[in-house]
Chains A and B, each alone.
Chain A
């Protein structure tokens, strides 16, 4: 197993853990945590391919990862704002009880 394969396997494992968390937890905040783990796993893939790719001096993978970190931060802010507003409205963050779109 080469180094790149090891990093890709770790990223696949973290992605699957995040997906399992996003799909199985009831709490909306825990679902967001799962999504953050998935985004981080994708970043690890980008950095690993940048490091072992043919042209690391072109910085393509690194730039992609940096922009991905910025977009993930924006996503976390808006997502948690939405969760707080839903909690104020429905008095719960339990996704199993949020089964209607009407307020």
Chain B
């Protein structure tokens, strides 16, 4: 466990906590960007360069901007008077804590049998491209259709409905 890992883990977790806990919704979106960046750097730390840069492009470049647009379009930046947490927040917190307890128990319990240090995989972007065009070409095409459908669907859902003539 290197110092870099602890630094990136602290950055990611702090960004995630801030995104969930802050009162102002715009601040939450900015903290979410920090969490996404921390995860991208963790991907780079795991020698997954392509996934790391895809994470930066897709999440920081697109999803975070989309979230900010949605916040601005819905007056979501106004802090409501009766608190930012729902009426059932205690139950939600208990469920999340229980899930973390189970996950942590499973991970720490299986630490002995998990694989240890292994050689750095020598995977280039060319290998990923060859795999995408070869073995994974069908999932790639399906994802292309999904993205097209999602784009059209999002536009249709968010489009202004025309006023019905009375």
Contacts and interface: CB of A to CB of B under 8 A. Distances in A.
Given A7-B46, A95-B86, A12 B9 contact: no
Interface hub of B39, B108, B149 (most chain A Cβ within 10 A): B39
Contacts of B67: 29, 32-33, 76, 80
B165 interface: no
Given A23-B95, A74-B147, A81 B155 contact: yes
Interface residues of B, number: 85
Interface of A: 1-10, 12-27, 29-30, 32-34, 36-37, 40, 43-44, 47-48, 50-54, 56-57, 59, 62-63, 65-67, 69-78, 80-85, 87-88, 93-96
Given A18-B20, A50-B48, A70-B146, 14 more contacts: A7-B42, A12-B100, A15-B100, A17-B17, A19-B95, A23-B93, A24-B96, A29-B67, A29-B76, A44-B42, A52-B114, A56-B121, A74-B149, A74-B151
Interface of B: 1, 5, 9, 12-13, 16-17, 19-20, 25, 28-29, 32, 35-36, 39, 42-43, 46-48, 50-51, 54-55, 58-59, 62-63, 66-67, 69-71, 73-76, 80, 83-89, 91-93, 95-97, 99-100, 103-104, 107-108, 111, 114-118, 121-123, 127-128, 131-132, 136, 139, 143, 146-147, 149-151, 153-155, 157-158, 160
